[in-house]
A and B are shown apart, each in its own frame.
Chain A
Amino acid sequence: MRAYLGFELRRLARDPRLLFFSVIGPVATYVIFSGWSAGDRLEGLAAPVAVMIGVAGYGAVAGVLMVGSAVSQERAAGWLRQLRVTPLPAWRVVTVKAFVGSLTAIPPAIAVGAVAAIQHQVALPAGRWLILLALLWAGTAPFALLGLAIGYGLSPRLAVPVNLLVFLVMSVLGGLLAPADYFPPGLRALAHALPTYRYAELGWRSAAGHLPTGAGLAVLTAWTVVAALLAAWAYRRSTARP
């Protein structure tokens, strides 16, 4: 399993497109969006901190979903079949994929944090930065699984647009770009049911020094379970074909 993990990490490091989407995109978004609301308070935080966490989450979700759904191309190319005729068990392939996907949450979180510190002098105690980073990593579980469900369930022709659609709908309606505080009540209620909002909420509450909410953890857990079931179903379906 270590060899396969190393193999996947080397591949990830060699793919500059991923770095572009997961780092440059959120950094540019932060620089533009954080200026508009600099004096506000959002989610119980100074706006530059709240927007930092939302945009870092936006970059993280983009990267994690993209790695998961790239499985579609590996499947279509026959690589996953090739791995199935080696001693490497299939569940390890899936585990490594989900783990490597979740790691892509880390570069955008660090990059956006650094820009926030420079542009708006956002300052948190060192321990709180680390906890924030850990939460932004661990909270990607439902998205890593959702990406795998798309990757195992759909052909590359469909996986790319579906992935983009899921990403845009979830990140916009989940309040990662425009804060859900600005939404009309109906949309705000919808945002609160989405994993993207609850994922960012982990970060917002942690930065404010609060524990996660019970509702937030419940929503995240429910989405994680549903995404895991979907991914397992899509995986089994994909291996049933010749």
Chain B
Amino acid sequence: MVMDDMALRLTATSRSFGAVRAVDGLDLAVERGSVVAVLGPNGAGKTTAIAMMLGLLPPDSGTVTLFGGTPAEAVRAGRVGAMLQDGAFVPGATVRDVIELARALYPHPMDTGAILTAAGLTGLAGRRLDRLSAGEAQRARFAFALAGDPELLVLDEPAAAMDVAARQAFWTAVRSYAAHGRTVLFSTHQLHEADDHADRIVVLAAGRVVADGTSAQIRAKAGVPDGASLDAAFLALTSSSASGTGQ
């Protein structure tokens, strides 16, 4: 079998819901060891694309591979950890319970202490999940995704509910995780997060890639000056595409 140097590869992938083409011929390859941000307005297809990457949703056409195999194979082998947008926990379990569950499910888990530290949950291990604040619950979901020390982390709007301090600690943990040669793909609405933490930014609109590169390349493509906020570039890119595709 040929080794694929890509952690993730979507080729001409499409998925519709009824008459809506959520993802429309998406091509995306993510190299191992990179940190990639996926940006796009609501309805751009980010969450659908992520569901297909994780094998939760089969594409209507096109292919999705993780490490050269199917998403299901990579998930079964414990090579993937994911934080889903609505992946809430169940009541009755504690932070420690879910972390220990994740550790038992993956072949080479991290130490419990290291997971708690990375997710900023050290004092909360005995807390019940239904008694966490929204930001704490999001950190617990990060801990669950990280616990198995997977090769690829997929994070769908991971820091949306976190406060400033938690957010900083979170991104530090993501960077140190990626520094060990592992791959991170995250979606966000916070453009400065993409700017600050990603090696590469992929902008989606209407289910397609409209820009792909470093933040400087994204600005250049949008025709905004280098010092301008990424917001300006984002709006320029996504509004022209939306009007270009019609409806």
Contact = CB atoms under 8 A, between A and B. Distances in A.
Interface of A: 2-4, 7, 10-12, 14-15, 73-74, 77-79, 81-82, 84-89, 242
B17 A86 contact: no
Given A2-B104, A7-B93, A82-B141, 14 more contacts: A7-B98, A7-B100, A11-B92, A14-B128, A15-B91, A74-B90, A77-B88, A81-B86, A82-B87, A85-B54, A85-B80, A87-B148, A242-B17, A242-B51
Residues of A contacting B: mostly = helix
Interface of B: 17, 47-48, 51, 54-57, 75-78, 80-82, 84-93, 97-98, 100-102, 104-107, 128, 141, 144, 148, 154
B57 A242 contact: yes
B56 A7 contact: no
Interface-centre pick from B47, B51, B101, B144 (highest chain A CB count, 10 A): B101
10 contacts: A2-B104, A3-B101, A11-B92, A77-B86, A77-B89, A79-B89, A82-B144, A84-B75, A85-B81, A86-B148
Interface-centre pick from A78, A86, A242 (highest chain B CB count, 10 A): A86
Contacts of B102: 86
A79 B107 CA distance: 21
B8 to A, nearest CB: 14
B170 to A, nearest CB: 18
Given A82-B87, A82-B144, A87-B105, A10 B93 contact: yes
A14 B88 CA distance: 18
B228 to A, nearest CB: 35
Given A3-B100, A7-B97, A82 B84 contact: yes
A85 B105 contact: no
A78 B90 CA distance: 9
Contacts of A2: 104
Contact of B76 (A12, A77, A79, A87): A87
B137 to A, nearest CB: 11
A23 to B, nearest CB: 17
Contacts of B144: 82
Contact of A78 (B75, B76, B84): B84
Given A86-B75, A86-B106, A87-B105, A79 B90 contact: yes
Contacts of A87: 75-78, 105-107, 148
A152 to B, nearest CB: 15
Nearest to B93: A11
A91 to B, nearest CB: 12
A134 B20 CA distance: 53
B146 to A, nearest CB: 12
A156 to B, nearest CB: 12
Nearest to A86: B105
A168 B196 CA distance: 58
A3 B147 CA distance: 14
Contacts of B98: 7
Nearest to A14: B92
Contacts of A11: 90-93, 97
Nearest to B88: A77
A85 B101 contact: no
Contacts of A79: 87-90
A10 B97 contact: yes
Contacts of B106: 86-87
Interface-centre pick from B84, B88, B92, B144 (highest chain A CB count, 10 A): B92
